[in-house]
Amino acid sequence: MAEPRPALPSGLVVFVKRECPTCELVVPVLAELSARTRLTIYCQDDPGFPEGLGALDETALERSWHHQIEAVPTLIRVEDGVEQERALGWHRGDWEGLTGISGLGKELPDWRPGCGSLSVDPTREPELRLRMEGEGLRARRVEVAALEDEQEAMFERGWTDGLPVVPPTRQRVVNMLQGTTRAPDEIVAVVPPDMAECSVEKVAINAVMAGCKPDYLPVVMAALEAVCTDEFNMHGVQATTMGVSPVIVVNGPIRRALGMNSGVGVLSPGNRANSTIGRALMLIVRNLGGSKPGGVDRSTFGHPGKLGVCFAEDEEGSPWTPLCSEHGIEAGKNAVTLYGGEGQRLIIDQLSRDAESLARSLASALLAVHHPKMGVGLAVMLVIGPEHASRFREAGWSKDQLRGALVQEMMRPGHEVMRGAGGIPEGMPLPEQAKDAQIPKFLPHNLHIVYAGSGAGLFSVAIGGWLTGAEGSQVVSKEIGT
Amino acid sequence: MSEAQVLLDPTSERKEEKRPRAPRLPDLEGRTVGLLDISKPRGDVFLDRLAEGLAARGAQVERYKKPTFTKPAPIDLRHEIAVKCDAAVEALAD
């Protein structure tokens, strides 16, 4: 927390508690130090201990908390309000070195470990954290009357995505903030379309509501940073009638640390990290950015993934480099990659046995994305499952080889895809002289390949995208911080 | 938990500002009317016709274009329209 902590007085400072045998043991030493130096004693459980030495009442544990006292006794040397060194428990050599006084506690054993500080007692820690850090929270406090149902109160205020949310109490929010080293008042991003500044605290509040664990918070922040770039163009992604929405792909060791799903049912609900990270991002877009269906969100249909889509790439199983490495974050780092995607559609091919055949087959299915006569400026994400990918692995195809083959297989003559061709006005706006030219469906850099899914099933998934490039939404990777 | 009755606001805590509409122009004679093409296909077709009609009513027409319909108009463009024009028409087409 960035708030100033209560300073310690200069001289020697010791934190003790009566119930600690080591603290009892060092009472003669404290008496000697008190007589010979400037010693301030803070007692965590009984201001009357040690008797006659003028101990200060530390039962509120405020100093213990803010100075991260882990054990008692802890002896600290302070100069001009700044800690110089500390000794934990009783260790004659340490105490003599710290105080500069030799011959301390001659009748005592050389060493005795201390006891746990009350400020780190697990039974008191949540309440203490709330008391010490909850006051620093800046978000408006909304009182829900005793007879009011808090879920109903949140629905009525428009805070939810239509499903119940976890009530963002101060306790839960301070606990959530444990997931990051960033200060609660730090601004993470300016969220379109309202261009509202979103602090770490506001991210934490929405992450609580989405059901996140504190460990997920850095992933949510990285995803938020990514969608709030001019390149991703969240305003456009939200506003378009086409109905795309952020798809978060997570790379790096954090996938395993958070227990994310990259395998069976990778795009299904059920895995807490996958489900709640995506949902937290969308709650922030809604609650901070102000984008709601019928408001700035003008999606004609939308899709269920607007609740939030987040999944992990199966890097361990993949024959290829991770997605983030194609967007500026090297393999092995923790990263999110954000893509504006529609709902998913399954591609079935259970008979292709070689790479060439399967590439042709996948390409033929991808032609249907958006509209068979549309392409070039649009994007697609192809999530390839292990069984399909094994065809390419066996053939030794790199990701770029596969991408190149798919692009080639999707080339069509202009006269098939131009406006009016086939008796269909819809199509690409091509000049007449382009009728014999080979027109790509997707440009290579707009064809995003991710490896995920179950080891059983000869399927892949296509997630259609939106306009690409500077005029649309570009794929953005961000490294996940702390 | 007893504390559950106090919740932290997840929103930007902003309030919508209600601003009155600019007064309607009494006539178009000598007025400058800005036409903003948002860069959707065929927006120019619509605005060309509008420009003809406005000119016939004595208005001075200024044409503007957003770089892309997918993003809000750049602030400089919005400022220019606000400074130079008495009225503006933003065209959405497809």
Query: If you count residue pairs, one on A and one on B, with CB atoms under 8 Å apart, how many are there?
Result: 94
Q: CA A336, A341, A344 angle in degrees (round to 5)?
A: 110
Establish whether this prediction's ipTM goes over 0.90.
Answer: no
The rounded distance, in Å, linking the Cα atoms of A308 and A304 is 8
| Residue A370 and residue A378 in contact, taking contact as beta carbons nearer than 8 Å | yes
- Look at A15-29, A312-326, A352-366, B34-48 and tell me which has the smallest mean pLDDT: B34-48
Q: Is the pLDDT of residue A3 over 50?
A: no
The residue to which tokens 């109490």 are assigned: A169
Q: Is residue B91 part of a domain?
A: yes
The whole-angstrom separation of Cα A450 and Cα A314 is: 8
- C-alpha closest to that of A311 among A263, A343, A346, A358: A263
Q: Does B13 touch chain A (CB under 8 A)?
A: yes
The SS3 assignment for A207 reads: helix
pLDDT digits (tens, 9 = 90+) for A109-138: 999 999 999 999 999 988 898 888 888 899
Does the distance separating the beta carbons of B72 and A150 come in below 8 Å?
Answer: no
Least confident of A155-159, A247-251, B31-35, B68-72: B68-72
Q: Containing domain of residue B34, as a range?
A: 29-94
Say yes or no to pLDDT of B3 above 70.
no
| Inter-residue contact A281 to A220 (CB < 8 Å) | yes
Give A382's Cβ-side CA count (13 Å radius).
Answer: 29
* Domain assignment present for B83: yes
pTM value > 0.90: no
For residue range B22-47, list pLDDT tens digits in order: 888 999 999 999 999 998 888 889 99
Question: Where residue B66 sits, what CATH number does that domain have?
Answer: 3.40.50.10860
Residue range A139-179, pLDDT digits in tens = 999 999 988 999 999 999 999 999 999 999 999 999 999 99
User: Would you call B70 and A473 a contact, using CB atoms and an 8 Å cutoff?
Assistant: yes
Q: Which pair of tokens denotes residue B58?
A: 């004595």
A280/B93: higher pLDDT? A280
Contact check, Cβ <8 Å, A233/B5: no
pLDDT at A4: 55
The 3-state DSSP class for residue A176 equals helix
* Residues in Cβ contact with A256 at an 8 Å cutoff, skipping those fewer than 6 apart: none
Q: Give the pair of three-digit tokens for residue B49.
A: 């016709």
B2 close to A (CB below 8 A)? no
Give the C-alpha separation, A63 to A76, whole Å.
12
On whether any CB of chain A is under 8 Å from the CB of B4, the answer is yes
Band of residue A2 on the pLDDT scale cut at 50, 70, 90? very low
Instruction: Please tell me the total count of domains within chain B.
Output: 1
User: Per-residue pLDDT tens for A181-220?
Assistant: 999 999 999 999 999 999 999 999 999 999 999 999 999 9
Residues of A in contact with B10 (CB under 8 A): 139, 159, 168, 202, 205-206, 209, 283, 287-288
The C-alpha of B80 sits at a distance from chain A's nearest C-alpha, in angstroms, of 21
Calculate what percentage of chain A has a pLDDT beyond 70. 99
- Asked if the structure places residue B57 within a domain, the reply is yes
The set of residues, in sequence order, having a beta carbon less than 8 Å from that of A100 and lying 6+ positions away, is none
Closest residue, chain A, to B4 (C-alpha): A169
Domain limits, chain A:
11-134, 155-479
**Domain-located, residue B55:** yes
Q: Are A77 and A83 in contact (CB under 8 A)?
A: yes
How many degrees, rounded to 5, is the angle at CA A302 between CA A479 and CA A229? 30
Portion 17-56 of B in contact with A at CB < 8 A:
41
Q: Which CATH class is domain A11-134?
A: alpha beta
Please provide the average confidence, as pLDDT, over all residues in chain A.
95
What is the Cα–Cα distance from A482 to A178, expressed in whole angstroms? 10
Structure tokens at A374: 């549309």
The arithmetic mean of pLDDT across residues A61-74, rounded, is: 95
